[in-house]
Structure 1
Amino acid sequence: MGPVEILLKEKLRLGLTPDLLDVTNESHMHSVPPDSETHFKVIAVSSLFDKKRQVQRHQLVYGLLADELAGEVHALALHTYSPNEWSEADQQIPSSPNCMSKPA
């Protein structure tokens, strides 16, 4: 786990007080140098998402990670759930597609 991933997790833990938080560095799936920290997937389950539309949830996360998104983080795949939605989703973590521009 690199320093950017650690920082993202810490900021999201403090800002969302999540029931579940998973931050995955998916940079290796893209056309970037080895050990890059540019592409992340976030799964967050938080009561702060109750009664919020998806765009409002994403705005909340973007606000917490504004500095990183303005810098080294190029892409952020967000999967945000209220606790009820997470249990209704059978707690399945969505898989990410392969990068179209990464050579096979």
Structure 2
Amino acid sequence: MEKGPAHIEMETLLTAAFAPTHLAVINDSAKHHGHSGDDGSGESHFTVEIESAAFAGVSRLMRQRMVNKALGDIPGTRVHALAIKARAPGE
């Protein structure tokens, strides 16, 4: 599947904010076709897997807040659902 504009923007923003040692932005939208939040754009549901030293010693909740802040208005505005798996190296 080709990456759409929201997908590319999320990768760019997360790379700039966290200099991750691992980053996977996974488009799960096809699994939710026809469900609530599917706007037909093909970019409604994502999973972010990110590993960065920025998350060392930070709680799971704070990590999610950090990722959401870095993504600005994308979650909740342009993307209906975002699952976040954030970890520090070695976790």
TM-score grouping bracket, smaller chain normalisation: 0.7 to 0.9
Unpaired segments ≥5 residues, structure 2: none
Unpaired segments ≥5 residues, structure 1: 86-104
Q: Does 1:4 align with 2:9?
A: no
Whole-Å separation in 2 of the counterparts to 1:39 and 1:56: 21
Residue 19 of structure 1 is matched in structure 2 by 21
Whole-Å separation in 2 of the counterparts to 1:33 and 1:13: 27
Superposition TM-score, scaled by structure 2 size: 0.87
Q: Which runs of 4+ in 1 moved over 4 A?
A: none
Deviates more, 1:51-60 or 1:29-38: 29-38
SS in 2 for 1:84: coil
Aligned sequence identity (%):
32
Residue 61 of structure 1 is matched in structure 2 by 67
Residue 35 of structure 1, CA deviation: 4.8
Equivalences, count = 85
Whole-Å separation in 1 of the counterparts to 2:29 and 2:11: 16
Indicate how the Cα distance of structure 1 residues 33 and 63 shifts in structure 2: closer, same or farther if over 3 A, else same: closer
Tell me the C-alpha RMSD between the 2 structures: 1.3
